[in-house]
């Protein structure tokens, strides 16, 4: 077992910095956002052809979201069961941390998203819409569109599970990180393919989730095992 300490969760800080740097690279320091989204945009129809495709919009988009919701509710039920039986206090503390940290990550992403002036790709003039594109840290143009698209709320439903890292150690922790990155990559790819988000939106969702989990770990100091 391992007790909490700042050094133990330093990888969450490094993940935050890496995701944020990659987001800046994709959005501000290169044209990667536009090039990737243009690959899925059909100029002939003036839209993203897979935006309402059943596989991408229902199975992969809604499926990932509801899978995360179901997993969170199962954890909540497990915590109640452990508390009612007054058993496994360390396990109960770990479950409580994952519940709180994952919820904090989702709330943080959605609070940022609700304040954002950046619009989704499918609203932009570059991709058949009317809103004006602007990069991170640029001034907001007069016609920025409906906004509320940065960072990606859907990607947060996968990256929220970075919350399991502070309660795990060794090989299990590395495997968990790999699994969360794969799930987050899938959730993000779904939104990019559909024209809902740029890659930078996904990366900033990951960065926000990582820093929210790190903050929760500092405050709650969960036991790891």
Residue 1, pLDDT score: 42
Whether the Cβ atoms of residue 20 and residue 207 lie closer than 8 Å to each other: yes
CB neighbourhood size of 103 (10 A): 16
CA distance 146 to 183: 28
CA 79, CA 76: separation in Å to the nearest integer? 5
Structure confidence at residue 179 (pLDDT): 97
Residues 148/156, Cβ–Cβ less than 8 Å: no
30 vs 156: CA distance, rounded Å: 24
Q: What is the C-alpha to C-alpha distance for residues 218 and 165, in angstroms, rounded to an integer?
A: 13
Question: According to the model, what pLDDT value does residue 7 have?
Answer: 63
Greatest Cα pair distance, the chain, in angstroms, is 63
**Which portions of the chain are predicted below pLDDT 50?**
1-2
CA 14 to CA 167: how far, in whole Å? 18
How far is CA 123 from its chain centroid?
21
Closest among 49, 212, 206 to 127, alpha carbons compared: 49
């Amino acid at each position: 077992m391992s007790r909490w300490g700042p050094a133990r969760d330093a990888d969450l800080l490094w993940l935050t910095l890496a995701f944020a740097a990659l987001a800046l690279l994709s959005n501000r320091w290169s044209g990667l956002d536009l090039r990737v989204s243009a690959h899925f945009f059909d100029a002939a129809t003036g839209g993203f052809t897979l935006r309402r495709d059943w596989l991408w919009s229902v199975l992969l988009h809604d499926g990932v979201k509801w899978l995360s919701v179901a997993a969170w509710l199962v954890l909540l039920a497990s915590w109640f069961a452990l508390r009612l039986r007054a058993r496994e206090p360390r396990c109960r503390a770990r479950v409580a941390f994952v519940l709180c940290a994952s919820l904090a990550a989702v709330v943080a992403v959605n609070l940022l998203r609700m304040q954002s002036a950046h619009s989704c790709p499918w609203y932009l003039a570059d991709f058949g819409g009317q809103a004006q594109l602007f990069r991170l840290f640029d001034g907001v143009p007069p016609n920025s569109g409906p906004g509320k698209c940065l960072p990606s709320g859907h990607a947060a439903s996968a990256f929220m599970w970075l919350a399991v890292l502070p309660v795990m150690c060794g090989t299990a922790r590395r495997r968990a990180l790999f699994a969360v990155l794969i799930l987050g990559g899938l959730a993000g790819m779904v939104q990019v393919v559909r024209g809902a988000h740029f890659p930078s939106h996904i990366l900033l969702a990951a960065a926000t989730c990582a820093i929210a989990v790190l903050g929760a770990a500092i405050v709650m100091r969960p036991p790891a095992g």
